[in-house]
């Protein structure tokens, strides 16, 4: 019996190339689809991708964090300032 004594590889840093491949139109998580999915389903899909394609594990949290931030920004409401309008 042979034991695997090699230490596990250290965690990688996120890579822009992998992020671009992940969110490309033909990638596993197209950027056009991300805003359309509910966050719960997006998280489930990210877990699926991390399990089946480990090379994207470092980039998936970036996609999820950006999408959550984007949704918070747009659900907080728009603020319109009319103090600069002059009547003619």
Residue 15 · residue 56 · CB < 8 Å? no
User: 66 near 19, Cβ under 8 Å?
Assistant: no
Angle ∠(55,57,58) on CA atoms, nearest 5: 100
Confidence of residue 4 (pLDDT cuts 50, 70, 90): confident
Categorise residue 77: left if φ over 0, alpha if ψ from -120 to 50, beta otherwise: left
Picking from 21-25, 37-41, 57-61, 75-79, which range would have the lowest pLDDT averaged per residue? Answer: 75-79
In this prediction, residue 79 carries a pLDDT of: 63
């Amino acid at each position: 019996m042979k034991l695997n004594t090699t230490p596990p590889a250290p965690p990688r840093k996120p890579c822009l190339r992998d992020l671009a491949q992940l969110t490309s139109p033909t990638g596993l998580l197209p950027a056009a689809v991300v805003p359309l999915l509910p966050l719960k389903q997006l998280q489930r899909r990210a877990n699926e991708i991390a399990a089946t394609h480990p090379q994207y594990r470092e980039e998936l949290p970036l996609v999820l964090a950006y999408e959550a931030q984007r949704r918070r920004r747009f659900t907080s409401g728009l603020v319109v300032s009319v103090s600069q309008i002059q009547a003619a």
